[in-house]
Amino acid sequence: MDNLENVKQFKANKTHSTANTEMIAVLNQSLAHAIDLRSRTKQAYWSAKGGSFYALHKMFDDFSDSLDSVADELATRVMALGGVPVWTQAAIEKTSKLPAYPTGAVQALDHLDALIASYEAASKHLPSAMAKAVQAGDHATASIVTGLAKLLDEQAGFVAAHVPVEWITSPRKHVVS
């Protein structure tokens, strides 16, 4: 949905219905996760070390750009529904349900493992978010959340593709410093 359609829908929905309030909460949760994932991806971008540094560095940069785009789309939809996007760092820390990220991680594999755990956690709430949007008849929100689910699935797949087979068979999951 483009911004013009969002504005038209906002004008048509000047009252804050229960469905809008619930969709705003769903969208803000997704927005918090998208911003948190972007921050984690940039952490990996700047600090991951290893033999595949350049490939990972480029991939993480591309991922953070995509997460920025989806965050903008989520925030625009929140505004269209008459809400206020959750965008400040304090609000993200309060709203995001992602596991702690290992700020002391340096090895690329530790970052890959932490990012996989983060993507899995962010994806967990999306099926119920899509169902709520469809049930409310809010197909624009359902489409945006579906797009986020597709993006997270794609990015998690690319991250997992960089994990060596021996790491998968005996994982050191969720390294936290």
pLDDT at 12: 56
- One DSSP character per residue, the chain reads --HHHHHHHHHHT-S--HHHHHHHHHHHHHHHHHHHHHHHHHHHHHH-BSTTHHHHHHHHHHHHHHHHHHHHHHHHHHHHTT-----SHHHHHHH--PPPP-TT--BHHHHHHHHHHHHHHHHHTHHHHHHHHHHTT-HHHHHHHHHHHHHHHHHHHHHHHTS-HHHHHS---S---
Class level of CATH domain 17-169: mainly alpha
Q: Which residue has the higher pLDDT, 122 or 51?
A: 122
Q: What is the mean pLDDT of the chain?
A: 86
pLDDT digits 0-9 by tens, 115-134: 999 999 999 999 999 999 99
Q: For the full predicted model, state whether its pTM sits above 0.85.
A: no
Signed CA dihedral, 91, 78, 97, 105: sign only? negative
